[in-house]
Amino acid sequence: MQAMLLFAQPSGRTGAAANLAAWTAYMDAMRTAGVMRGGQRLAAPDAATTLRLKDGVRHVQDGPYADSPEQLGGFVVIEVPDMAAAVEWAARCPGAIDGAVEIRPLLPPPA
Amino acid sequence: MSAAQAAEQAAEQAARGAYGRLVALLAARTGDVAAAEDALSDAFQSALRHWPGTGVPDRPEAWLLTVARRRLGHARRHRGVADGARVALEWLATPDSPVELPDRRLQLMLVCAHSAIAAEARAPLMLQTVLGLDAARIASCYLASPAAMAQRLVRAKARIRTAGIPFELPGPEALPTRLSSVLEGIYGAYGTGWADVSGADAAVRGLAEEAIWLARVVVALSPEPEARGLLAMMLHAEARRPARRSGDGAYVPLSQQDTALWSRPLMAEAEALLREAARAGTLGRFQLEAAIQSFHISARLTGQRADGALLALYDALADIAPTAGVLVARAAALAEAGHPAAARTALDALGPELAQHQPWWATRARVMALLGDASGAREAARRAAALTEDPAVRAFLLAGLFQPA
Amino acid sequence: MEYVMLFAETPAERGRRETQDAPVYWGAWTAYMEALQAAGVMRGGAGLLPPEAGTTLRLRGAERLVQTGPFADSQEQLGGYVLLDVPNLDAALEWAARAPCAGAGAVEIRPILSAGG
Average pLDDT over residues A30-58: 95
Residue B393 has pLDDT above 80, yes or no: yes
CB contact under 8 A, B159 and A44: no
pLDDT at B79: 57
Specify the DSSP element, H or E, that contains B384. Answer: helix B374-386
First to last CA, chain B: 60
Q: Which A residues, 24 through 83, put their C-beta within 8 Å of a C-beta on chain B?
A: 43-44, 46-49, 58, 60, 62
Average pLDDT over residues A68-75: 92
B118–A contact, CB cutoff 8 A: yes
Specify the DSSP element, H or E, that contains B106. Answer: helix B105-112
CB contact under 8 A, C74 and A54: no
CB contact under 8 A, A72 and C110: yes
Residues in chain B whose Cβ is within 8 Å of chain C: 80, 82, 114, 116, 162-166, 168, 170
Chain B residues touching C92 at Cβ < 8 A? 164
pLDDT at B76: 64
pLDDT at B47: 86
Q: Which fold has domain A2-105?
A: Alpha-Beta Plaits (3.30.70)
What's the structural domain count of chain C? 1
Write out pLDDT tens, residues C81-110.
999 999 999 999 999 999 999 999 999 999
Identify which has the larger pLDDT, A15 or B290.
Answer: B290
Chain A residues touching B177 at Cβ < 8 A? none
pLDDT at B173: 83
Residue type, C85: D
C116 lies in some domain: no
- Which pLDDT band holds residue B193 (cuts at 50, 70, 90)? low
Here the CATH number for the domain that contains residue C58 is 3.30.70.1060
Mutate to test the interface with B, among A62, A65, A67 (most CBs of B within 10 A): A62
C18 lies in some domain: yes
Task: Give the separation between CA B162 and CA B103, rounded to whole angstroms.
Answer: 24
pLDDT at B203: 42
pLDDT at B202: 44
Residue C98 exposed, middle or buried by CB count within 10 Å (0-12, 13-18, 19+): middle
pLDDT at C117: 36
Following DSSP, what letter does each residue of B278-337 receive, concatenated? HHH----HHHHHHHHHHHHHHHHHHS---HHHHHHHHHHHHHH---HHHHHHHHHHHHHT
CB contact under 8 A, B164 and C89: yes
Chain C residue nearest residue A56, CA to CA:
C103
Write out pLDDT tens, residues B344-371.
999 999 877 788 888 899 999 999 999 9
Write out pLDDT tens, residues A85-105.
999 999 999 999 999 999 999
C117 lies in some domain: no
Residue A33 has pLDDT above 80, yes or no: yes
Nearest to B28 by CA among B145, B138, B160: B160
C19 lies in some domain: yes
Q: Which domain holds residue C56?
A: 2-111
Write out pLDDT tens, residues B257-279.
999 999 999 999 999 999 999 99
Chain C residue nearest residue B31, CA to CA:
C88
pLDDT at B86: 53
pLDDT at C107: 98
Is residue B344 within 8 A of residue B368, CB to CB? The reply is yes
A31–C contact, CB cutoff 8 A: no
- Which pLDDT band holds residue B323 (cuts at 50, 70, 90)? confident
Query: What b/e sequence results for C13-42 when a residue is b if at least 16 CB atoms lie within 10 Å of its CB, and e otherwise?
Result: bbebbeeeeeeebbeebeebeeebeeeebb
Task: Give the separation between CA B208 and CA B211, rounded to whole angstroms.
Answer: 5
C63 lies in some domain: yes
Write out pLDDT tens, residues B78-136.
555 545 455 555 554 454 545 567 889 999 999 999 999 999 899 999 999 998 888 98
- The answer to ipTM > 0.85 is yes
Across chain B, mean pLDDT equals 86
CB contact under 8 A, C116 and B80: yes
Write out pLDDT tens, residues B127-184.
999 988 889 888 887 778 899 999 999 999 999 999 999 998 888 888 888 899 999 9
Task: Give the separation between CA C20 and CA C26, rounded to whole angstroms.
Answer: 11
Chain A residues touching C4 at Cβ < 8 A? 40, 42
Write out pLDDT tens, residues C28-87.
999 999 999 999 999 999 999 999 999 999 999 889 999 999 999 899 999 999 999 999
For chain A, what are the domain ranges?
A: 2-105
- Which pLDDT band holds residue B402 (cuts at 50, 70, 90)? confident
pLDDT at B340: 94
pLDDT at B199: 43
